[in-house]
Amino acid sequence: MEEKATENENLRKALWKEELISIGLKATLALEEEKKKEVEIKVTELEVKMSNSISEAAARAVEEFKASFEMKDLNIAFV
């Protein structure tokens, strides 16, 4: 009978340790998921900025091309 009580106590201690480990792992997983969400948000923000920068650069290139073409026309007109 005493062996069973000791075995039960040992099993309870082992279960308690496993529960503590599980709680720690769940907390760590929650933190990692939060970090992942933050990184995904930052990536999305950078993608939007990059897209906007590309659009602005393309618009400037078109304007510069138009201006250079107009200057060429002016040079031809003066020659």
The tens digit of pLDDT for each residue in 26-67 reads 999 999 999 999 999 999 999 999 999 999 999 999 888 887
For residues 79 and 74, give the distance between their C-alpha atoms in angstroms, rounded to a whole number: 9
Tokens 């929650």, located at residue: 30
Q: What is the C-alpha separation between 66 and 69, in angstroms, rounded? A: 5
- Give the residue, 9 or 69, on which the prediction is more confident: 9
Please give the model's pTM, rounded to 2 decimal places. 0.59
